[in-house]
Structure 1
Amino acid sequence: MTFGKSIKIFLIDGDPSGRLTCELSNWTGLAYRIPRTEVKKCGDRPNLNSTGVYMLFGRNDDDKEAVYIGEAEEVYTRLQSHLREKDFWNEVIVFISKDENLNKAHIKYIENKLYEKAKAANRYDVLNGNIPPMPSITEADRAEMDEFISNLEMLVNMLGHKLFVEIKDTSETNDGEILYIKGARDANAKGVQTQEGFVVLQGSRIASSVVNSYSERLEAKRNDLIRTQKVQIQNGEFVVMEDLLFSSPSLAADIVMGKSANGLTEWKNKYGTILKDLS
C-alpha cells in the first residue's frame, strides 16, 4: 500500500532556479539542490558541512546525462574541491540528516546502494571510477538506511532526475498492456506506453534497413543506437539490447519500421486493436 506524501520546499534565495531545500514530513533527512554557480554561497549553510551523500549532475562528452555519486563527512568542503577537480557537472543534490545521526558507515552504505541503483536503472552515465565499498553495519542500521534511501530516491525524482527509476519494470507489465509491431525488413517489436512516453522492449528487432525517404534526423537517431550498442546486429538482425525510451509511440514506430509511421495505428495489442482505439 502506498500513502500520500507532504513535501516542503524552501527557496533559499527566492529564486526557483537557485538554491533550495526539500523535506518530507516526519523524516529526519534534508535535501539541498544547489547549482554549481551557487556552491560558494553555501558558507551560510552550517549544516552543509555535516556528514552526507551527494550527486553531481551534468553531461558527459557524448552529451548524455551523467552523474557522480559521493559521500563526505564534511560535504561543503568536498563540494568546493569538486569545483576545482570536476568540470562536467552543473548541479548537485545533497542529503544530510537534520538530527546528525548519519555516521561514516551509514553514508558509505548509502553511497554503495545508490551506485548500484543508478547502474541498474541505466539512465545516466555513472562517472564513479570505482564501485563504492560496502561497509559492515548492523541489520537494524541497514533497515534504517534502506528507509532513508527510499525517501532519498523519491526526492531526487521529484527534483527532476530519474536517476534511480528504471525505464520500465516489465515484470509488472500485464500481457494486455504489451503492444506489437511487425513490418517489412525483419521489424518485429514489442513495447509499452509509460508516463514518460513509449518503451520498446529488450529483444525487439528493428528493420534491417530504411526507406529512401527516411529523414536525416531519424537516421542519426538509429545510427546512434547502433553506435552505442543499444541495438546490435546479430545474425543479420538488428536486435534491441535494452529497453529503449522514446518520446512518443510514433517516434518508436519510426525507428522500429525504418520509415515514417503513425504509432497510434501501427502499435497493436495481442488482439489486433490499434493503440488509437485503446486510449
Structure 2
Amino acid sequence: MPFAKKITLFLMDGSPEGRISCELSNWNGKAYRLPKSSIRECSDRPELDNPGVYILFGRSDTVDNEGLAYIGEADGIRKRLLQHVEQKDFWNDAIVFISKDSNLNKAHIKYIENSLYEAAREIGRYQLENSNTPTRPTISEPDTAEMEEFIAQIKLLIGTLGYKIFEPLISKKNPQQRETFYIQAVRGADGQGVKSADGFIVLKNSIMASSVIRSFTEKYQLLRDKLLTDKIVVPSEQGLRFTKDFLFSSPSTAASIIMGRCANGLSEWKTKDGRILKALDSE
C-alpha cells in the first residue's frame, strides 16, 4: 500500500501562472516549474546554476494539437534554459529537477535523463523533440538504486504539476477503462477502445478503414495521414493496423479516423452486448 505524501508548492512570483517550486517531504531533490517567459528572471535563484535534469513542454500546431517535450540535462540548468529560449521555439514551460544537497554528478544526471527519455518514449503521450537518444552511463549498484528512487519522485512530482508524460495510457486502477468498446464498419474498420479522462484511447491492433469517403474532412484526413507517416498505423495482412495504444481527443475523433467518415463516437462505440457509449455515460 503506498504511503501518503506531503508536497509543498511555493508560488515564487505570487501567481499560479508564474514560477513554482515544488518539494516532497523526506526527499533531497527539488522541482521547479518555470514559464519560458520567466527564465531570464531566474538569476535570483543560484541553485539553478547547479547540475540537474529538465523537461521542456509545448504543443504542436498540427490538427491534433499534440503534446511536445524535450528531455535534457546540464551542469548549469539556468544557462542551458537560456540557450533553449533562443534556439527552441516549441516550448512554453520547463520543469527542472535538482538536488538540494548538490549531490548529483554528471553520470547521475545522464542516467536520469536516459531513464526519463526511455519511459516517456515507451508511454508515448508526448512527441519527443530530442534529435538523439540520450546515452546511458554505467554507474555503481548503490548509485543506481539511489537514482531509481530519485526518478520515482520525479515522476510523482511531474504528475502533481499537471503533466502526464509518465502516466500510462491504460491503467488497471482506472474504473473508466474496465469496459472495452468496439466499432466494426465498412472498408475493413475494426476498432477497440476505452474511455479516458483525456479523450478516448484506441487500442493496439485496431484496424483503420482502408479508405475514406469523399466528404471526409480535411482535419481528419490530416490526422489520418500523420498516423501513417509516424507509423502509429501501418499496413498489415489484416489492414491498416495500429501499432500501439493511441489517445484521441474525443470518442468522435477516434470513431471518425477508424471508420474513414465523420461519425458520432457516442453512438458508434458500443460494448459487446450492444450498449452505446452515450448510454453508459448517462448511467
Class of the TM-score when normalised by the shorter of the 2 chains? 0.7 to 0.9
> Does the 8 A contact of 2:177 with 2:194 survive in 1?
no
Q: How does 1:206-245 map to 2 (within 5 A)?
A: 206-235=208-237, 237-245=239-247
Change (3 A) 1:263 1:33: same
Partner of 1:15: 15
Q: Percent identity?
A: 49
Counterpart of 1:185?
A: 187
Q: Name the structure 2 match of 1:165.
A: 167
Shift of 1:244: 1.7
Distance 1:200 1:230 in 2: 11
Query: Is the partner of 1:111 in helix, strand or coil?
Result: helix
- Matched to 1:18, the amino acid is G
**Aligned position for 2:72:** 70
RMSD: 2.8
More divergent stretch after superposition (59-68 vs 226-235): 59-68
Match of residue 101 from structure 1: 103
Of 268, 271, 274, the residue aligned with 2:273 is 271
Q: Which residue of 1 aligns with 2:33?
A: 33
Superposed CA offset, 1:137-194 (max 9, x none): 2222222211211111122223232222232368x99996222111122111111112
SS of the residue corresponding to residue 114 of structure 1 reads: helix
Distance 2:176 2:153 in 1: 27
2:69 is the alignment partner of 1:80: no
Matched, 1:47 2:47: yes
Q: What is the deviation of 1:60?
A: 6.0
Q: Provide the TM-score with structure 2 as the length reference.
A: 0.86
SS at match of 1:184: coil
CA distance in 1, matches of 2:175, 2:10: 37
**Does 10-19 or 257-266 show the bigger shift?**
257-266
Q: What's the CA shift for 1:24?
A: 1.9
Check the 8 A contact 1:176/1:270 in 2, yes or no: no
Aligned length: 279
Measure the CA separation in 1 of the matches of 2:163 and 2:105.
26
Which runs of 5 or more residues in structure 2 are unaligned? none
Closer/same/farther in 2, CA of residues 160 and 211 from structure 1, 3 Å limit: same
Long gaps (5+) in structure 1: none
Tell me: CA distance 1:104–1:246, structure 2 relative to 1, closer, same or farther (3 Å): same
- Once the two structures are superposed, what CA deviation does each residue of 1:209-259 show, in whole Å capped at 9, x if it has no partner? 333443343333333323433223335822222222122222222221223
Residue by residue, what CA displacement relative to the aligned partner does 1:20-50 show, whole Å, maximum 9, x if unpaired?
1112222222111112221111110111112
Which amino acid in 2 is paired with 1:270? K
